[in-house]
Amino acid sequence: MTRLTNQSARRLFLDRHALLEQPAGPARGADLLALIQRLGFVQLDSISTVARAHDMILYSRRPGYRAKYLKQLYERDRGLFEHWTHDAAMIPMTFYPHWHLRFHRDTELLRRRWRNWRRDGFEERFGKILNHVRDHGPVSSSDVGKDEKKGSGGWWDWHPSKTALEYLWRSGALTVVGRDGFQKQYDLTERVIEEHLRPGPSCDETATINWLCSAALDRLGFATSGELAAFWDTASPAEAKGWCAEQMRLGELEEIEFEQADGKPRKTFTRPGTVDAAAELGPAPGRMRVLSPFDPVLRDRKRTERLFGFHYRIEVFTPAPKRQYGYYVFPLLEGTRLVGRIDMKADRDAECLRVTAVWPEQDVKWSPARAKRLEAELDRVARFAGLCRVCFTDGWLR
């Protein structure tokens, strides 16, 4: 069986995620859209210890990127739409027809799930919400259901009209057209999405599953059927497994082994010729980069550990006394290695990027040259975040 070395596997994976090349190039308009198409999507997250996750993801690949460029591409140019993969994400508008299956499946899935979570009364609000949006234009959750009582669903609980808004968005009747701060603005899909992209009366599930699996493989380079299913989180594991079997039968896929970080082989699928192409890829740039905790390279934590030997878990929801590292710790990429992690935040009052701690990986020597590369990167990140300088806390190197 053909084998992909660990170094070739890392280079291939980083290349598909636009991290094998030098961080440079244009970062707005069509160029920014092309980058997002290459990645597949950009995950959204509201936490902003330095900058929001989606902005950090794009900045790490194109240092000329600024948050306003994504907002323009999304809200003004309509080059992107917002929906779910494994989480909320910005997705190229040309992919919208492939979300019809997601809308269809969420229609029943969310009804059952939210009933079980005691979102009582949200289904009764559908007509009222749609009429309100039709008559008054885009609305946010603060514009509806002001006198409604929330249930008992915990910290993220919604009143019935907010639940209805989210349901109508997730099932395709509404589209998110922008955000005020981080609050979504919803409008009728028929007023936002061009007619040729909108769902018809039926959905070709086979064609959609084919696109989802094929597009996931393009962005991963090599993958198991389970990893293909998880990428967009729409195809089921069984559907992805069936797709792989059919593509193997047609000769469009081959099964290979890739060498994991611990040296052990793992079976995976790839396209014929990929192993030879991976061997021809050049070296990764030596520059150190700070990655968002939600970077595409890290979204599948188990895959990251198998490939890079880097164990990473975000500790936002871990009680402070139980955290191993910190609330929101950023991984550090250097070449093809994840060499450590850094705890830092923007101190807006002092106009500095405040570094609390850096933890090198156990097998990484923190040489003066490596420290210099980190300091240069932190200076760049500080400027990106609108800060004047970097401040190191005593004892920051752990």
pLDDT at residue 108 tops 90: no
Considering only residues 159 and 80, tell me which one the structure prediction assigns the higher pLDDT: 80
- Choice between 152 and 92, residue whose per-residue pLDDT is larger: 92
Model pTM above 0.75: yes
At 119 the pLDDT is 59
Burial environment of residue 287 by CB neighbours within 10 A (0 to 12, 13 to 18, 19 or more) = middle
CA distance 51 to 57: 10
Per the document, the length of the chain is 398
- Percentage of the chain modeled with pLDDT above 70: 96
pLDDT at 123: 81
Non-local (6+) Cβ contacts of 373 within 8 A are 286, 287, 288, 334
Instruction: Give the model confidence (pLDDT) of 66-75 as tens digits.
Output: 999 999 999 9
Domains of the chain: 95-197 (1.10.10), 288-392 (3.40.630)
**pLDDT, tens only, 281-331:** 999 999 999 999 999 999 999 999 999 999 999 999 899 899 999 999 999
Q: Give the pLDDT of residue 150.
A: 61
pLDDT digits (tens, 9 = 90+) for 184-225: 999 999 999 999 999 777 789 999 999 999 999 999 999 999
A 10 A CB-CB count for 169 gives 21
**What's residue 120's pLDDT?**
64
What integer pLDDT is reported at residue 155 of this predicted model?
A: 37
